[in-house]
Each structure stands twice: as structure tokens, then as C-alpha cells.
Amino acid sequence: MKKSKLTLALMLFSSCSAMAQTPVKEAAVNNVENKKTEVIRIFGERNQLETTTGSAFVLNEEQLALNEFDDIHRILQAVPGVYIREEDGYGLRPNIGLRGATSERSSKIALMEDGVLIAPAAYAAPAAYYFPLMSRMTQVEVFKGPSAIKYGPNTVGGAINMVSRSIASIDDGREAEIDLAYGETNYTKAHGFYSESYNINNIGELGFLLEGITLNSDGFKYIEANGGNSHDTGFDKSEVILKANFTPANINDYQFWQLKMGYAEEVSHETYLGLTDADFAQSPTRRYVASEKDKMDWEHYQLQLSHYIELNSGTSIYTQVYRRDFDRDWDRLNSFNTNRSMATILTSPDTGINALYMQVLKGERDTLTQEERLLFTLNDRAFYSQGIESKLFYDTHWLDADLAIDIGVRLHQDQVARNHRVDEYAMENKHLSLIGNRRTITHNQDTATALASYVNANMDFGQLTLSGGLRVEYIKGEAISFDLQTEAEESRKTNNTTVLIPGFGAFYKITEQFGALFGLNKGYVPNSPGQNSNIAPEESWNYELGLRYSGDNTHAEIISFYNNYSNLKGNCTFSNGCLDELGQEFNGGEVDIYGVEASLKARFDIHNRLEMPINIAYTFTQSEFQNAFQSTFSQWGTVNKGDQLPYLPENQLSVEVALAHEHWQVSFLFKYIEEMLESAGTSTELEGYYTDEMTQIDFSSWYQINKALRIYAKVDNLTEGSGIVSRRPFGARASKPRQAIVGIKYTF
């Protein structure tokens, strides 16, 4: 079949490449060999990407290795239709949006690793406080349009799947590598993996992968204290992954099992406290003394068991059972002991009593009154996410077309338990001193259980490709609040909903290289548990229409999109500067988001095995509220018809030009992002504020000394482009300044 198992790789992530020949029946061996490519990734063959009916973008291992980016924000800047709001400069807690879906903590897109949802609680609390280290990924896949209905639960913007390293097959032999790097701000990286497969007579094939990575940096910001500068604003982040594959021998149906286990941890001295605009202009990398004790500390565990069986040449089933646990403590300055918000103080630092609060924040004056005490919150949250998912794939020939049908069912449950406490501190002699007694301010537990299923059919008539599908979600939520003194259950709210999410796409091949595509799908984001009955889920109808060219060395695409929201939804979180109604969701009514995505990937022969790869990505976006309303949501306020959405740049452009040789490569990556509005309406603390226009250039290069040894060097933000990337949660925040890094890779 031309497109057998088009989407199988979403579940059969790259580890499935261990499908080397084993002593099974000859027919099964040949069948496996024919399908090796298809089961590794979502797009295992080039023509699948060229004729897909929706918008899709794939960054392969070669592209990821070239720039050696650790930050998912910098990786995705080469993908059109992706919107980024930086926060810490390292992408520790990404803010990613697709086609206008809010970028806040990446909460409105489906984030996956090897086909499994990775948000700590994708239904109950989808904010992406956990994110894997990108250095261990070998592919990043971005999907928008009709294909999003297969991944859910959020289908408004799309989905991002990250493919982790595969296990070496017997044919590949043993694989091992060590990667060491060092750079400015005392940046260090140590990354290594070892993988091998064995053929055990009359039993089958056994393969394993052990991979570990650690990243750390002193940070690029400094804290002023006692007349000196401290650089304890960095992070330390590590992950260990173990995979094991087993392919049994002497069975009628080809099948294999995989076990994946992982542990990750992070300690980062990050803060929500930014700067006033005036202080930012003088020193954008400064941090106020009041943030000296801010620290994020988390641990993440994952366990995953997968089974694949091929019942015959056209039918297969893939099943995954998974469990993820995530525990985090983010201890940080939240506010003064007053109802005056931190954002108000920082946007009007010279007005009345605000000037006194600013002196305390900077350590220029000790705390004198009760209102000047600093509230330091210990945001303790525990998450789990677990489930079982099974997908059936069926290939046949019908009505002169190759027909591929996949059907999936997933039973999923996730939970977040919050136990937030607060300490009071006083500023004394340029340091924070603990005073008063600790008290609990939030104690609740949200749980979501979802039964989801979908059916999707793909028909390839040769010149015309059609796809259509339907997703059904039944979601039950439960929110429990506990008494802050006795910890007894105080209230319990339950809610449930059922939603049908259709999608349709078409691709017509006008010539062998040139084609047109059309897509239509329903966008949906469910309510989190415990919301009031008047809060509607986020819903939209999304349309796309585009042209695609695929030649031997050139791939170009231009797609127009239109997302028609019947209801946009906002969510009150600490990260967007909201404090008083934490967890509450807000209706935004009808909104239109539309624009154009364009991309070009080309490779030109220069001279004597010298090539010039060029990658260009451009996105134009417009947004308009279609109704007027008043909201207490911090990003909206008083909205009039025609007002724009915040954090949605009208223009953004990425251009990468490289010179590539067999033994070396150099590359320059140019990025431009237009200024972004920080508040949609009026009557908000950030009314009329914009982020700065951003222009940056990244440089990367590598040289292959011999078959085993490679050295590389890179400079992020070569031209030292800087500016305010956001004023949320509290105050102006800077992008990462110039950082030079050198590294070495040794392959065994």
C-alpha cells in the first residue's frame, strides 16, 4: 500500500526501529521489512508528508543536531503557525500556541512524547510545567488542521509530538555516543546513550537503550545584594531513560513489546517577578533582591508498556499503558501583604505608595509596616496521569483507492492536588528575613476521567487524497476543596460532558510536484473540573486552504487559515498574572483568528560537494473579538468588538541559510517577531502595553574530525538582540542574551 499506516508512528514511536529480522516465519519477516519505515514515525515516508491532507511540519534528527538547541522555543521558531511567549529564556516552562490558540503554558495544544500526552494533567490542569529535555529527541512533529482530531483532547490549535531516541536494531549494530559541551554563564551539558540488540535463538530479539542527560547554567540574570552581584539565578535539569524491546520468535503473528521507564528532575532559581520598564532599560538582566529565595523544584516519573501485533498484512493493533507522576514545589514571591497587585506597583512605580513598595523590592529600604511584608508562597502540587490506549489499523483497496482506516480508544485519568501555603518575610539589610507563622491558602484536588475514541479514514486515489474522521470524548470532572484549618472535605463539584469532534481534509495533486489542500475541523478545549455551569467550553470551526510544491530538492507551502470561535476561553493562573480567582475560567465569546503560513525548504548545489540549505518560515496573523464585554480576566478587561487578542504577533519570520559539506557545516538563523499586545481591552494593568519587536541571529557550526569524533560551536543571539518579551506575570522580562557554547561528540 502507498500509505500503509499513515499515522501508526504516533503510537509506534521511534523505538520501534528495533524491528530487525528475527527467526519468525518468512512471510512475517518480509512484511516487517516492508513496514520498517512506516512504524518509526508519523511520517515514515517522504510522500506521506507531501500528500498529507492537513498542515504538517517535521524537524528531523539532522536539523535538531545542527543548532543543538535545548530550548523548544528556539526549535519551533522554524515552524510557521507557531507562536511563542518567552518567560525564563531557557524554555523551562514553555508557552506555545498554534494558529492563535493561547500560548499560556502550552495549555491549549496536545503535547506528546512518543504519542503519549505529557502535560502533568492534560484534562484537569494542562499547563506544561513539565517539559522533557530536547537533546534526547530525534524528531519534532507539528500538526495543525484536521489531523488534530486524532490526538485530543485539545483540537483548536493542533498537536506537537516529540520522538525520543530509538533502540538500535541488530542490523544497525551497537550504538553509543557521548556529548559534552560548555559555554557562557557556566553552561554545561553532559549527554550519553548506549543501545544494543541481541538475537536469542528460539526466543527472539531483545534490545535496550540507556540514556542520560544533565544540563545546568548559572543563569544570565543577577541579583543585587549588599553591594555585590549574585548569579544564583540558573538551573540544573537531568533525565534518565531506559527502554527495552522484546520481539518473540516462532509465532504466527509478528509482534513486539516495549517497556519504557524514565526519571527527571529540575531545580531552577526562577521567579515570576520582573522589572519596571525604567529598570529594564538600564539593566534588563537584573533581578530585585526580593526574588532571592525563589526556586522551582520538581521530580517526574514515567512508566510505559507498549504492545504491537500484526494480525495480517493489512491489520495491526497497537496498545499502550502509561503512568506519569509529577511533583513540584515552586516557592516564590507572590505579593505584598496588601490588595495592591504586584503588576500595579511595577507599571506605576513612582506613584504614591508604590514608590515605597519598590524600595522594599529592591532592598533599598527595610520593611516598616505590615502592608510592606512580602508574601512568599510555597506552591506545592502533585499530579498524576494514567491510562490505556489501543489503536487498530486496517489497510485495503476499495473503489480504486488505497484505503487506510485507524480506530482508537483511550481511557485516561489525571489529577492535580494543590497545597499552597504562604510565609511572610520582611526586607532587612538587603535580604529577606522570615517572620510570622506559615498558613495554608489553597488546598484542593481536581480529577478528570475521560473515555475518548476516534475513527479516521484515508483514501488515496492517486491524484486525489481524502481523509475524514470523528472524535468522541466523554469527560467527567470532580473538584474537591478542603477546609484550610481542619483539612476536612469542604465541598465537592462534579460535571460531565460529551462532545463530537469531526474533521475532513483533501489533497489534490495537480502535477507530480504541485498540489492543493483543504481542511475543516472542529476545535475544542474542555472545561477543567469544578467550573461554574455558565462557563462554556472553548469551541471553534477551523478552516485551511493551501498550495504545496514538492520537488527533489525543494519543498514549499502556503496555507491560509481561518479559526471561527463560538467561544474563546481564558483561565486564571499565576503565570498570566491572575491571583484572586485562581483556576477560574472565563468566557470570551466569539473571536475570529485568520492568517497565512508560508514555508520554503530548499537545497542548492554550489560546488564540489558543497551545498546551501535554505529554510524559510513566515506567519501573518490577525484576530478580532466579535462582541463587546467586561471581564475580570487579567488579559482581557473591557473588550470592544474588533479588539485584538494579546500575545499574537501580526508578522513573524524565520530564515536559516547554511553552507554544508560532507565534513562540516555552518549556519545562520535569523528570527523576527513583531511587537505583541499584552492586554486585549482596557481597564487592565497592562492596558496599552506591547512587548518589544524582536530581531535575533543564531550561529551554529560543526566539523567532523573523523568517523567517530565531531566538534561543534554555536552562538545563540549572536547580535545581542534584546527586548521585553513579556510583562507577565509581574514586570518586564528579557530574552536570553548572547551565549557562546562549544561541544564535542564521540560516537562509538
Measured CA to CA, the distance from residue 604 to residue 611 in angstroms comes to 6
Share of the chain above pLDDT 70, in %: 92
Q: Which pLDDT score is estimated for 550?
A: 92
Other C-beta atoms closer than 10 Å to the C-beta of 434 total: 11
Assess if residue 1 is contained within a domain.
no
Other C-beta atoms closer than 10 Å to the C-beta of 624 total: 14
- The mean per-residue pLDDT over the stretch 104-115 comes to 92
What pLDDT band is residue 253 in, cutting at 50, 70 and 90?
confident
Which residue's entry shows cell 495544544? 109
Q: 142: which 3 cell numbers?
A: 507539528
Domain extent, residue 475, equals 8-747
Q: Which pLDDT score is estimated for 12?
A: 36
What pLDDT band is residue 229 in, cutting at 50, 70 and 90?
low
Measured CA to CA, the distance from residue 45 to residue 141 in angstroms comes to 14
pTM of the predicted model as reported, rounded to 2 decimal places: 0.91
Other C-beta atoms closer than 10 Å to the C-beta of 707 total: 7
Measured CA to CA, the distance from residue 742 to residue 236 in angstroms comes to 19
What pLDDT band is residue 74 in, cutting at 50, 70 and 90?
very high
Assess if residue 697 is contained within a domain.
yes
Assess if residue 360 is contained within a domain.
yes
Region class of 632: left (phi > 0), else alpha (psi between -120 and 50), else beta: alpha
- Greatest Cα pair distance, the chain, in angstroms, is 84
* Residues sharing a CB contact under 8 Å with residue 577, sequence separation 6 or more, in sequence order: 341, 343, 634, 685, 686, 728, 729, 730
Q: Which pLDDT score is estimated for 39?
A: 42
Residue 240, amino acid: V
What pLDDT band is residue 152 in, cutting at 50, 70 and 90?
confident
What pLDDT band is residue 169 in, cutting at 50, 70 and 90?
confident
By CB atoms closer than 10 A (0-12, 13-18, 19+), residue 674 is middle
Q: Which pLDDT score is estimated for 31?
A: 44
Q: Which pLDDT score is estimated for 66?
A: 85
Measured CA to CA, the distance from residue 243 to residue 207 in angstroms comes to 8
Q: Which pLDDT score is estimated for 467?
A: 94
What pLDDT, in 10s, does the model give residues 696-705? Answer: 999 999 999 9
The region of weakest confidence among 100-104, 158-162, 298-302 is: 100-104
Is the confidence at residue 465, as pLDDT, over 80? Answer: yes
What pLDDT band is residue 580 in, cutting at 50, 70 and 90?
low
Residue 64, amino acid: L
Measured CA to CA, the distance from residue 462 to residue 286 in angstroms comes to 60
Measured CA to CA, the distance from residue 448 to residue 416 in angstroms comes to 9
What pLDDT, in 10s, does the model give residues 661-708? Answer: 999 999 999 999 999 999 999 999 999 999 999 999 999 999 999 999
DSSP per position, 274-296: -B-HHHHHH-TTEE-GGGTT-EE
What pLDDT, in 10s, does the model give residues 267-281? Answer: 999 999 999 999 999
Q: 665: which 3 cell numbers?
A: 557545516
- The mean per-residue pLDDT over the stretch 476-495 comes to 94
- The mean per-residue pLDDT over the stretch 162-183 comes to 92
Measured CA to CA, the distance from residue 711 to residue 746 in angstroms comes to 9
Assess if residue 305 is contained within a domain.
yes
| Omega cis (within 30) before 132 | no
Is the confidence at residue 99, as pLDDT, over 70? Answer: yes
Other C-beta atoms closer than 10 Å to the C-beta of 713 total: 17
Is the confidence at residue 20, as pLDDT, over 80? Answer: no
CB 92 within 8 A of CB 72: no
Measured CA to CA, the distance from residue 265 to residue 434 in angstroms comes to 27
Q: What is the mean pLDDT of the chain?
A: 90
Q: Which pLDDT score is estimated for 574?
A: 76
Helix/strand/coil for 86: coil
Helix/strand/coil for 123: coil
- The mean per-residue pLDDT over the stretch 5-18 comes to 33
What are the two backbone dihedrals, phi and then psi, of residue 146, each rounded to the nearest 5 degrees?
Answer: -60, -30
Is the confidence at residue 24, as pLDDT, over 50? Answer: no
Is the confidence at residue 742, as pLDDT, over 90? Answer: yes
Closest CA to 628 of 642, 607, 611, 609: 642
Measured CA to CA, the distance from residue 487 to residue 390 in angstroms comes to 39
By CB atoms closer than 10 A (0-12, 13-18, 19+), residue 237 is buried
Which residue's entry shows cell 567532523? 704
Is the confidence at residue 659, as pLDDT, over 60? Answer: yes
Between 152 and 45, the higher pLDDT residue? 152
What pLDDT band is residue 342 in, cutting at 50, 70 and 90?
very high
CATH of the domain at 298: 2.40.170.20
Q: Which pLDDT score is estimated for 148?
A: 82
- Domain count for the chain, please give it: 1
What pLDDT band is residue 226 in, cutting at 50, 70 and 90?
low
Between 313 and 654, the higher pLDDT residue? 654
The region of weakest confidence among 1-10, 344-353, 364-373, 609-618 is: 1-10
